[in-house]
Structure 1
Amino acid sequence: MKRLNVDENSLAVWAVILIVAVIIWFVLEVIAEWGIFQKAGEKGWKALIPVYDVYVSHKIVGMSHIWFILEVIAWVIESVFLGLTAIPEWIDIAFGIPVAIITVTSAVIHAVKLCDCFGKGFAFKVGVILLPSVFSMIIAFGKAEYRKPKA
């Protein structure tokens, strides 16, 4: 079997490319969120503050505060407990599965409600769920107008 010969220089180049790509993606996400916030009547700078931006985004789409609280609890569990390598596997599974379910469910509900607030249909909702970065930019800088969610 032939072994792939990779030198340290090429690994360093790929690492730099990956880091730059992640930074660009993050900046584009913040720009899209800033635009969505402004369309919804919120101040754009709120997109720059971690956790608070999620709270504001949930408020914009009319999600219950319970979802935000559940997400914060999930983040804490994920950060504190699931980051440890010395925990038993049953704890990892017992906490990991509910955290994943909460996170994915909240994201899907948020995506659907976001599309509803901007008058987007089913196909766009699927797009927001599968490619949120691209479709968030379309919402932020397209012609869609914000409509306050129904209570």
Structure 2
Amino acid sequence: MEDFIGMLMGWTAFIVYLGVIIITIMGMWRVFEKAGQPGWASIIPIYNTYILLKLAGKPGWWLLLFFIPFVNIVLAIILMISVARSFDKDAGFAIGLIFLPFIFYPILGLGSAEYIGPDGYALIEERHDDIV
């Protein structure tokens, strides 16, 4: 009986994990498409980080820095802040992308958010023009 319960718990955890991955990929797929990138890039492990760097306006060579321990954590935080800005979202949304990507990527991708350019520069320029 204990073996059955253990197996049931294992399969349940696996199905939940698989669901979380699928939901995250769906959200990232739409985020990439909104930014004018191919959606399929969200399912290729290292390439999706390169595309995120590109749509956030960060240099492609940062991808190499993601292989350095502790540096990758700092860069991931900076990247998520830039991705949030690229969709005109605030720092609170960036924190959500960092800690709960399986919730915030679908919100970003399937919601009404629009890609405004790398790190939000298009919106900054537009707001600057309105002020001047």
TM tier, shorter chain? 0.7 to 0.9
For 2:6 and 2:95, the matched residues in 1 are separated by: 36
Match of 1:141 in 2: 110
Question: In the alignment, is residue 110 of structure 1 matched against residue 79 of structure 2?
Answer: yes
Match of 1:55 in 2: 50
Q: Share of identical aligned residues, percent?
A: 26
What's the C-alpha RMSD, in Å, of the aligned pairs?
1.5
Structure 1 gap segments, 5+ residues each:
1-5, 75-98
For 2:43 and 2:74, the matched residues in 1 are separated by: 24
Bigger Rg, which one: 1
Question: In the alignment, is residue 9 of structure 1 matched against residue 4 of structure 2?
Answer: yes
- Post-superposition Cα deviations, 1:46-67, rounded to whole Å, max 9, x if no partner, equal 1122211111111111122232
3-state SS of 1:128 partner: helix
What is the deviation of 1:128? 2.0
Q: TM-score, normalised by structure 1?
A: 0.73
Q: TM-score, normalised by structure 2?
A: 0.82
For 1:67 and 1:20, the matched residues in 2 are separated by: 34
For 2:17 and 2:86, the matched residues in 1 are separated by: 29
One-letter amino acid of the structure 2 residue matched with residue 116 of structure 1: R
For 2:91 and 2:64, the matched residues in 1 are separated by: 28
One-letter amino acid of the structure 2 residue matched with residue 102 of structure 1: V
Counterparts of 1:65-144 in structure 2 under 5 Å?
65-71=60-66, 73-74=67-68, 99=69, 101-144=70-113
Indicate which of 5, 25, 28 corresponds to 2:20.
Answer: 25
Note closer, same or farther for the CA distance 1:44–1:16 as it changes in structure 2 (3 Å cut).
same
One-letter amino acid of the structure 2 residue matched with residue 39 of structure 1: K
Match of 2:129 in 1: none
- Post-superposition Cα deviations, 1:111-135, rounded to whole Å, max 9, x if no partner, equal 1001110001132222222222211
